[in-house]
Amino acid sequence: MSLFDSTAKPNPAGHRDLEVTLLPLPPPPEVRLIDVREPHEFVGELGHVPGATLVPLASVPAQAMSWDKQATYVLICRSGGRSGQAAQVLTRSGFARVINLVGGMLAWNQAGLKTER
C-alpha cells in the first residue's frame, strides 16, 4: 500500500488529505514534496519540509505541464489553504495522486517535526 492509498484521506474535491504526523521522512521515492508558498516563506521562520521543492502557487499550472501525472505529489503551504488550491488545480488537470498536507507548516512546526531553512 502506498502513502496515497493507505494513509491519506479522500477529500470531496478529488485529492486526498494527510495529517503532518503521517508523512514519513524521508518520503518514499515515488513521492514528490511541493511547497507552494513564496520564496521568502520557504526560507522564513517556519522553514520547509526537508526534501521539498519550491513551486509558488501562481506557477503550479505552468510547472505541472512537465510533471508525471501518475506520480504522487504532497502539496505544502503555510496553513493548508494554498496547497489545497494547488491540489484542486492538479486534480482538475488529470493528476491521479495528489495529497494536501493538512495544516501546512504551522501544523508541521507545532508537531515539532524537522524543518530546513
The per-residue pLDDT for range 72-84, each reduced to its tens digit, is: 999 999 999 999 9
Q: Is the dihedral of CA 100, 105, 109, 115 positive or negative?
A: positive
Residue 47, domain CATH? 3.40.250.10
Residues of the chain with pLDDT > 70, as a percent, come to 99
Q: Which domain holds residue 43?
A: 3-110
Supply the pLDDT for residue 1. 54
Q: What is the pTM of this model?
A: 0.95
Q: Quick check: 58 and 18 in contact, CB under 8 A?
A: no
* Count of domains forming the chain: 1
Rounded Cα gap, residues 98 and 89, in angstroms = 10
Give a yes or no: residue 94 inside a domain: yes
Percent of the chain with pLDDT over 90: 90
Residue 103, beta-bridge partner list: none
Instruction: Identify the active-site residue in 74, 77, 99, 101.
Output: 77
pLDDT of residue 3: 79
Q: What is the pLDDT of residues 4-35, one digit of tens each?
A: 887 899 999 999 999 999 999 999 898 999 99
77 carries an active-site annotation = yes
